[in-house]
Structure 1
């Protein structure tokens, strides 16, 4: 009987702990009816450019973080963003062939001791505290940090030698807030909030001048 009671209390404790963690995550992510969900992202420019032996792109985003996301950042939660560009060669007889891909990973965090914002940028996923290999920059304001994320210039996405002048090629671009990098309880809470659902993508066909 004692073992049974102990097991029951242990189970209740685990369930209560999980509930409290989720409740805290929801509170931290800003489930407040007084806050308007104002986070937004828009792709205002996507220009492919041929330079020397590479195909590059210039992308410009109109990215705004709502109060819920900013509050979570100030309370110590790091927020991750991902930009990805892919080039495909169309094939009528088979699935399209991917001939180029490039990714940029951003980790944005607030440092309460210095009251500064730190942005890490890498071509590889930034998981946890594994920041080795990333470029780190510190900023006085959130706006300054966001300005770096908003602009992606001269970004190489494919080698020119892989482009086929006799075939059609297309470019696909995507940018998003990577909710999967949040701690598990926060992922559950963020999944129900439009303020955290930041994502934009666009596909365009490459001109003949770019693939020759």
Structure 2
């Protein structure tokens, strides 16, 4: 009797992925069909920069209410990414301000159906929560975020600090990325919060 060998062709793999693709498209269509709800724009309610030992760190509080479409996407297992951007600029009277520091803090919010928990990743740090609300509260309370070393800034000089929080649609699955284009529900982007501070510089030894 001749030997038979089982093999998986690219076509069969595509057919196996087809039901998953249909479910994803169905979810996207259902979210698009939701009525648009008025929502309070996200904003940075508080921000400060402080020297801590040999670093400058930022503390900030962000007002953020996720709308039903974004919440539902997360609860269905879609990973949603957010960014916190910080800039430190040196004013120049003769030209545009010079950007001395440009840093971004990356967030990822996901739901794990097996453990029925929400997972928040902040950079390489991960933490699980029983509710989406708890994960969002932690994400929007920024504490001791290192943005620069003391030696990166000139002692006793005035600098401008700018801070912004936003949803990153570029990392959404392709069907969601398409639906996010021009959608107010997926456009979560605070205005830049700006303030000035006087650098402490390096302490003399």
TM range (shorter): 0.7 to 0.9
SS at match of 2:115: coil
Matched, 1:108 2:98: no
2:89 touches 2:100 (CA, 8 Å); kept in 1? yes
1:21 touches 1:185 (CA, 8 Å); kept in 2? no
Task: Give, in whole Å, the separation in 2 of the partners of 1:63 and 1:196.
Answer: 13
* Residue deviations 1:63-83 (CA, integer Å, cap 9, x gap): 111111111111221100011
Matched, 1:181 2:183: no
Give the structure-1-normalised TM-score: 0.75
- Cα distance, 1:149–1:172 mapped onto 2, change above 3 Å: same
Q: Residues 32-111 of structure 1 correspond to what in structure 2 (within 5 A)?
A: 32-33=34-35, 36-38=37-39, 40-111=41-112
Q: Residues 161-176 of structure 1 correspond to what in structure 2 (within 5 A)?
A: 161-165=151-155, 167-176=157-166
Q: Please state how far the C-alpha of 1:30 moved relative to its aligned partner.
A: 4.1
More helix by share: 1
Equivalent of residue 195 in structure 2, options 180, 186, 204: 204
* Residue deviations 1:153-208 (CA, integer Å, cap 9, x gap): 111212222222464310111110101111222112112321111111212122x3
Which 5+ residue runs of structure 1 have no aligned equivalent? Answer: 1-19, 123-133
Task: Give, in whole Å, the separation in 2 of the partners of 1:21 and 1:189.
Answer: 15
- Cα distance, 1:147–1:136 mapped onto 2, change above 3 Å: same
Task: Supply the RMSD in Å over aligned alpha carbons.
Answer: 2.4
Task: Give, in whole Å, the separation in 2 of the partners of 1:71 and 1:37.
Answer: 16
Give the structure-2-normalised TM-score: 0.77
Task: Give, in whole Å, the separation in 1 of the partners of 2:182 and 2:165.
Answer: 20
* Residue deviations 1:25-62 (CA, integer Å, cap 9, x gap): 642434312x5243641211101112222222110011
SS at match of 1:64: coil
Counterpart position of 2:127: 137
